[in-house]
Amino acid sequence: MGYSTNEMFSGLVEQYERLVYTVCFQLVRDAAAAEDLTQESFLSAYLHRTSIPEGYERQWMCRVAANKAKDYLQSAYQRHTLLPGEDGIPPGQAPPAEETALRRAAAEELRDLILHMREPYQPVCRLCLLEERTPEEAALALGRPVKTVHTQLLRGKKLLRQALERSGNDGMLSP
């Protein structure tokens, strides 16, 4: 069906604007760039609004945002500038570009795994691991007891670790 009217699309923007920004920011680690990428993501979504799969709007918007952020990180401009946080590293001490790229790829895989987890682990891991909220904040947002959120987060991390071990990227992420 898609989002044929402007009102329907405006609702999509209102519902997913923070999530899209968070996905972009997690990848690029730069607030201004994440804001620009959020706008680009919604522009792209608007241009392709009739092909948004009904019932999968959230996943579709996350994928658009992740792709926009990856394109940004791979752009020629970004390759020739310092990565956020690297400006204070003395010459010769910066990690090799290959290592940085592998870490980013592993982080992207982790984000994808979290966004595709089953209930009840996905919302807890998304809030605590991707949006960096405390378990107490996640419990409040989800309307669950704090102890339940702690347990679901622990089990969710175990599932993620197992999935990463199966894919061979378990050594790329810090515990």
Residue 79 has pLDDT above 90, yes or no: no
Q: Which of 35-39, 78-82, 120-124 has the lowest mean pLDDT?
A: 78-82
Report how far residue 107's alpha carbon sits from residue 99's, in angstroms, rounded to the nearest whole number: 12
Residue 69 has pLDDT above 60, yes or no: yes
pLDDT tens-digit readout, 47-64: 888 888 888 888 999 889
Question: Which one is predicted more confidently, 138 or 130?
Answer: 138
Residue 162 has pLDDT above 70, yes or no: yes
pLDDT tens-digit readout, 2-36: 666 778 888 889 999 999 999 998 888 888 989 99
Which range, 24-38, 75-89, 160-174, is most confident? Answer: 24-38
pLDDT tens-digit readout, 114-129: 878 888 888 888 888 8
Residue 151 — pLDDT band, cuts 50, 70, 90? Answer: very high
Report how far residue 12's alpha carbon sits from residue 141's, in angstroms, rounded to the nearest whole number: 20
Kindly state the tokens that stand for 140: 């409040």
Report how far residue 12's alpha carbon sits from residue 116's, in angstroms, rounded to the nearest whole number: 20
The structure tokens 């592998």 sit at 102
The structure tokens 């910066």 sit at 94
CB half-sphere exposure, 54, CA atoms < 13 A? 6
Q: Which of 59-68, 69-78, 83-92, 154-163 has the lowest mean pLDDT?
A: 83-92
Kindly state the tokens that stand for 100: 């940085």
Kindly state the tokens that stand for 152: 């679901």
Report how far residue 47's alpha carbon sits from residue 35's, in angstroms, rounded to the nearest whole number: 19
In this structure, are residues 8 and 46 in contact, taking their beta carbons and an 8 Å threshold? no
Does this model's pTM top 0.75? no
Residue 96 has pLDDT above 60, yes or no: no
